[in-house]
Amino acid sequence: MTTDLATTILSESDLLRLGQLAIDAGAEIMRVYEGEFDVQIKGDQSPLTQADLASHAVIADGLARDFGHIPVVSEEDADSHNAPEGETGPFFLVDPLDGTKEFINRRPDFTVNIALIEQQRPTYGIIYAPVRKALYIGDVVSGKAHVLETEGLSGDISFANFKALTVRKAPDALAAVCSLSHNSPETEAYLDLYGVAERVAIGSSLKFCLVAEGQADLYPRLGPTMEWDTAAGDAILTAAGGKVLSRDGAPLIYAKPRFFNPEFFAQGDVAFKVPN
């Protein structure tokens, strides 16, 4: 699958720089994770730790250095949230620490998310899981998605060490991933109604990655999310052959008012019709 949405084409070396930037941000997160840390509550009642801020600083500096001509919207930079509605881009959309609740509770399912948005769609996505030591890269422009296990790696990362990702054909008994911290009775009822046989609860944007890897078929989200929660995962899943749809069956779009997402359904096998 390729797309004609992008006018900004990132090279393999660009993508590797973004991947390394996510790894570097993950290292800062792990320094906090392995020690003692304070938890603050932001105005929207979401938690904030030193790790969120340290990761944001690494990413903001790296993007300014290597991609300074492209604007950045980050969850942890309130001033960047004034980007105009319907912005066609390009702009980077960043969640420096997705899954802060998992981080606080010492669970391994938190990630660093970096996406490039153009024409209100993600065209490139990077996700790094620091505890799991897995780096995911999705290139929607060329239709390629990859994962790299970073355990034991030294030196520069290379696509020669990545494994290609592709979604699987939906089996008769579907497997779904759902939120570990934000699951709801509505989601459970939805999964029951459509015969989902297996459920995996996991935090952060890793849910998209499990579908992209062919470990699951469906990720329904019937509760609130922000665009920085989903953009990188959307790109990775789309590049792996899946799709992310809003309730009306249209692709999930970005640069919406206040960056709020509607309910959505992420699926692997595009031939499988997700009920709306």
- Known binding site for Mg(2+): residues? 75, 95, 97-98, 229
**CB under 8 Å, gap of 24 or more: what pairs does 70-76 form?**
70/8, 70/116, 73/228, 73/259, 74/228, 75/226, 75/228, 76/48, 76/52
Residue ranges for the known binding site are 75, 95, 97-100, 229
CA 272, CA 118: separation in Å to the nearest integer? Answer: 27
The length of the chain in residues reads 276
**Given the DSSP bridges, would you call strands 47-49 and 72-74 parallel, antiparallel or unpaired?**
unpaired
Residue ranges for the known binding site for substrate are 75, 97-100, 229
What are the counts of helices (DSSP H) followed by strands (DSSP E) for the chain? 6, 16
- Of the chain, the end-to-end C-alpha distance in Å amounts to 24
